[in-house]
């Protein structure tokens, strides 16, 4: 059996040919017109050489194979339409073997929704469903898309699991569900596009003219839109822009009461995770600063911004009252005021404490031993202690007047504590011994080194991490 069809009314339309393969099975071939070949600058000497198989229809096994062809006038004219997939097979759709071109056209008109039904456009899937093909082609070696409806030959093929497959099998109901899902997205985007354009025009024409009379419009929030986006994307390490980060923080802050009411455990977990991340960043910043030769001013700013670190040096909870605080000492000439780096108090007893900040590079001990294995404190170390003791003395003398001037009466000087943050722990055993002997006998001043304070932060982080 062989038949031929050509529509002479349109010079661009090609010819269809039906060739029998075996009983109840035919090939349908397509040959482009001379005019179309001329437009693609192809050689017209042998038009028949451009004839390609478009369909293979096997009525006996209920199979229709489509070979999508590129019909665009470019270098790939009459080549496979897709990069990797060469055919789309429909199984179980009950297409009868055609005996005429009219019957071929009837079959094409009754292809499933989403398929190109005009052979002059090369068949295959419609452009809006190209994402199905693009997704499947990410799998290497796939040359055939099989769409099955009901019991098909593919069911038998799928039993051979060890067989190396060059096809992708998709049940028709799944294909149709994906197609409808794509349609929904397209419809939603069109609707959202109309809203976007309306809001843009309003803001550009009216809000800029008179913001008071025409308040700025924003895109309406749709419930579960965040859930849909996050659940459909890998958000484990999302590369969020700075503005996106700010908006997320603002969104959570503005809705914290509702979140606390509806999802208290989630909010507590988020709070704990944020605290851990913040503490981790703080430890990294502290360690980086320790590696540099920074002055007292930098460290005072650091502890001022992270004052809770200071409380780690005390055995009781403290709150900061001020920094670079005058603790007295003014002479009759008006000079001589003494300033403590930080003034804090016990949160329960109101007992006050003074903190003096030096630098990690402050020498704690003299470089040479005093006698044998004994090292004496350096002038900077002993001088810092005397400086802090003098601040304590002046503060205790004038606390009554200071409280009255500041109108802060919730402060007491029962036993003013003093804290000196200075230097780094010595490395040599004899130096460590001399430092601890001196520190242990400085009963009126607590002394802690910068590296010890950093270690306290690390231990706190380790404890909170293990409890999370």
pLDDT bracket for residue 26 (50, 70, 90): very high
Whether the CB-CB separation of 73 and 39 falls below 8 Å is answered with yes
pLDDT bracket for residue 240 (50, 70, 90): low
Sheet architecture: strand order including 25-31: 2-6, 15-22, 25-31, 52-58, 63-66, 87-91, 144-148, 167-171
| Burial zone of 449 (CB within 10 Å; 0-12 exposed, 13-18 middle, 19+ buried) | buried
Q: What is the pTM of this model?
A: 0.48
User: Which structure tokens are listed for 222?
Assistant: 């749709």
Nearest-angstrom CA–CA distance, 380 and 91: 90
More confident residue, 275 or 32: 32
What mean pLDDT do residues 427-439 have?
91
The domains found in the chain, sorted by start residue, are 2-181 (no CATH), 293-467 (3.40.1350)
Is pLDDT at 410 greater than 80 in this prediction? no
pLDDT of residue 156: 52
Is pLDDT at 234 greater than 60 in this prediction? no
Segment 246-305, tens digit of pLDDT = 666 666 677 777 767 776 776 666 666 666 777 888 889 999 999 988 999 899 888 888
Is pLDDT at 44 greater than 70 in this prediction? no
DSSP string across 51-76? -EEEEEEETTTTEEEE--B--SSSTT
At 78 the three-state DSSP class reads: coil
Extract long-range pairs of 427-430: CB within 8 Å, 24+ residues apart: 430/369, 430/373, 430/374, 430/375
Q: What are phi and psi of 63, to 5 degrees?
A: -130, 135
For residue 102, the surrounding DSSP H or E stretch is helix 101-109
What mean pLDDT do residues 5-26 have?
76
Whether the CB-CB separation of 14 and 29 falls below 8 Å is answered with no
Smallest Cα–Cα separation from 340: which of 420, 406, 261? 420
Question: Considering only 139-143, 226-230, 296-300, 410-414, which range has the smallest mean pLDDT?
Answer: 226-230
pLDDT bracket for residue 5 (50, 70, 90): very low
More confident residue, 138 or 241: 138
pLDDT of residue 6: 44
Whether the CB-CB separation of 147 and 89 falls below 8 Å is answered with yes
pLDDT of residue 35: 81
More confident residue, 328 or 394: 394
pLDDT bracket for residue 407 (50, 70, 90): confident
User: Which structure tokens are listed for 466?
Assistant: 């293990």
Smallest Cα–Cα separation from 342: which of 421, 287, 410? 421
User: Which structure tokens are listed for 8?
Assistant: 């002479």
Q: What's the alpha-carbon Rg for the chain, to the nearest Å? A: 41
What mean pLDDT do residues 23-47 have?
81
Q: How many CB atoms lie within 10 A of CB 68?
A: 22
Is pLDDT at 3 greater than 60 in this prediction? no
Segment 168-213, tens digit of pLDDT = 888 998 899 889 888 888 887 787 778 777 787 877 777 877 888 8
Question: Considering only 118-122, 179-183, 302-306, 307-311, which range has the smallest mean pLDDT?
Answer: 307-311
pLDDT of residue 138: 87
C-alpha angle 135-133-64 in degrees, rounded to nearest 5: 140
Whether the CB-CB separation of 377 and 365 falls below 8 Å is answered with yes
Segment 333-346, tens digit of pLDDT = 444 566 778 888 88
pLDDT of residue 8: 38
Is pLDDT at 320 greater than 80 in this prediction? no
Nearest-angstrom CA–CA distance, 211 and 46: 71
Segment 54-76, tens digit of pLDDT = 999 999 889 999 999 998 888 88
pLDDT of residue 188: 76
């Amino acid at each position: 059996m062989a038949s031929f069809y050509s529509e002479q009314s349109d010079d661009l339309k090609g010819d269809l040919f039906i060739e029998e393969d075996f009983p109840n099975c035919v090939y349908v071939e397509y040959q482009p017109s001379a005019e179309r070949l001329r437009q693609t600058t192809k050689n017209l000497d042998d038009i028949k050489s451009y004839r390609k198989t478009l369909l293979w229809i096997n009525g006996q096994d209920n199979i229709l194979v489509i070979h999508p062809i590129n019909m665009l006038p470019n270098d790939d004219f009459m080549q496979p339409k897709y990069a990797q997939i060469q055919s789309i097979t429909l199984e179980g759709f009950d297409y009868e073997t055609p005996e005429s071109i009219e019957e071929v056209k009837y079959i094409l008109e009754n292809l499933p929704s989403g398929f190109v039904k005009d052979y002059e456009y090369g068949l295959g899937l419609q452009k809006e469903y190209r994402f199905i093909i693009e997704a499947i082609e990410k799998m290497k070696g796939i040359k055939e898309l099989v769409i099955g409806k009901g019991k098909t030959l593919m069911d038998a093929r799928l039993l051979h699991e060890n067989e190396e497959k060059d096809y992708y099998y998709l049940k028709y109901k799944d294909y149709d569900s994906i197609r409808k899902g794509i349609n929904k997205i397209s419809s939603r985007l069109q609707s959202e596009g109309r809203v976007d354009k309306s809001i843009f025009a309003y803001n550009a024409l009216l809000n800029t003219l008179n913001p008071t009379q025409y308040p700025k419009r924003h895109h309406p929030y749709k419930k579960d839109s965040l859930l849909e986006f996050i659940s459909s994307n890998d958000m484990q390490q999302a590369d969020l822009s700075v503005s996106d980060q700010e908006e997320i923080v603002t969104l959570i802050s503005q809705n914290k009461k509702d979140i606390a009411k509806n999802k208290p455990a989630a909010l507590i977990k988020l709070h704990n995770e944020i605290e851990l991340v913040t503490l981790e960043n703080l430890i990294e910043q502290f360690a980086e600063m320790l590696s540099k030769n920074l002055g007292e001013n930098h460290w005072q700013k650091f502890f001022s911004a992270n004052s809770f670190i200071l409380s780690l040096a005390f055995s009781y909870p403290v709150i900061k009252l001020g920094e670079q605080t005058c603790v007295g000492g003014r002479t009759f000439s008006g000079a001589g005021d003494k300033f403590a780096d930080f003034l804090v108090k016990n949160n329960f007893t109101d007992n006050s404490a003074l903190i003096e900040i030096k630098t990690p590079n402050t020498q704690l001990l003299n470089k040479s031993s005093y006698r044998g294995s004994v090292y004496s404190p350096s002038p900077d170390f002993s001088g810092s202690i005397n400086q802090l003791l003098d601040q304590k003395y002046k503060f205790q003398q004038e606390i009554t007047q200071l409280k009255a001037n500041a109108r802060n009466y919730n402060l007491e000087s029962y036993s003013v504590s003093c804290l000196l943050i200075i230097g780094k722990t010595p490395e040599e055993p004899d130096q460590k011994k001399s430092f601890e002997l001196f520190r242990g006998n400085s009963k009126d001043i607590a002394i802690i080194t910068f590296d010890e304070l950093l270690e306290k932060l690390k231990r706190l982080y380790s404890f909170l991490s293990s409890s999370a």
